Amino acid sequence: MATSNKPFALKTVYSVIICLGHIVLLTGVYVGAENMASPCNDIRVETSRESVVVTWPLPVFNVTSELVTGRCDRDPGDRFFWGTVWVRCWAEDRNGNTTECLFTVTVRPSKCPMWNPPKNGALACDRFLFGQFCIVFCNQEFEFDSQPAQLYVCGASGLWTTTSTKSSVRWPDCLELRSYKMHHKGLRQQYFAGDFVEEEENATKSVQQNFVDVFEGTAFGEQGGCVGNGRCTPENVAVFWGDAVEGDVVIGS
């Protein structure tokens, strides 16, 4: 069987369509347009469910000047779960010449509104589970306005919830100056030392490590979110800093 050795030129195409009520973003072409009459596009789907039926037009290849409709190792209309799956499509002309392309289907939960990080504190979220899980932190000189949740979860509904409530919740700020006689409202790991304005690098590393320490002890972390997950590391935690304020006066950000 002969295989076409014609080099593929890279090209990127962006388009947005609505498919069965879900937002579908098509991006990233891996095979040049001169080899294809209908390209392979990466597909990204946001859904309020844990799985969704994804469909796409079969690619049409230009194999030695002959237009051939391709076949894929996953069928349009298959059901995909949260995560990223590679799909391979290929075509063969009457003389046995072949060509192929690859694209990904990524299904992720609906995004939740990203509220501001706590004032005088930080918001840390995973980079390895679609940013579904976040934990809030306070500078150790300050206290949470109200008791924070151990973990904030972005549910498939697109709302932030906690393990104790299914209704939408917001995380607190850190506006109360703390005396050492006060009891922590949060977990010990939800407080960090150092001035995140002057010592951001060290403070960031501390918050990232604390996120992993807290998350791996939660039910989500113990059931595969962190325990046994090689990507659950401090380097894969995003940290967002809140404004540093004193009273009603912003002194940094």
CATH number at residue 33: 2.60.40
Residues 141 and 80 in one domain: no
- The type of residue at 66 is E
- How much is the pTM? 0.65
Tell me what the pLDDT averaged over the chain comes to.
79
State the pLDDT confidence band at 17, using cuts at 50, 70 and 90. Answer: very low
Q: Is 181 part of any domain?
A: yes
Residue 163: predicted pLDDT = 80
Largest pairwise CA distance in the chain = 83
- The Cα 59–Cα 176 span in angstroms is 59
Among candidate residues 69, 64, 74, 61, the one with its CA nearest the CA of residue 96: 64
Q: What is the pLDDT of residue 12?
A: 31
Last residue of a domain, one of 60, 77, 108: 108
Q: Six-digit token pair at 134?
A: 């976040």
Tens of pLDDT along 126-167? 999 888 899 999 998 899 999 999 999 998 778 899 988 777
Determine the structural domain holding residue 155 and report its residue range: 121-252
- Give the pLDDT score at 93: 81
Query: Nearest to residue 42, comparing CAs of 57, 54, 30, 33?
Result: 30
Q: What is the pLDDT of residue 253?
A: 39
In this structure, the answer to whether residues 128 and 245 fall within a common structural domain is yes
pLDDT at 164: 80
Q: What is the mean pLDDT of residues 113-130?
A: 93
116 in a domain, yes or no?
no
Q: 188 with 81, same domain?
A: no
Average confidence (pLDDT) over 89-96: 84
Q: Answer yes or no: do 146 and 201 share one domain.
A: yes
User: Could you say which of 108, 131, 156 is where a domain stops?
Assistant: 108
230 and 143 both lie in a single domain: yes
Residue 13 reports pLDDT greater than 60: no
CA 91 and chain centroid, separation: 33
Confidence of residue 197 (pLDDT cuts 50, 70, 90): low
pLDDT at 39 over 60: yes
CA distance 187 to 227: 20
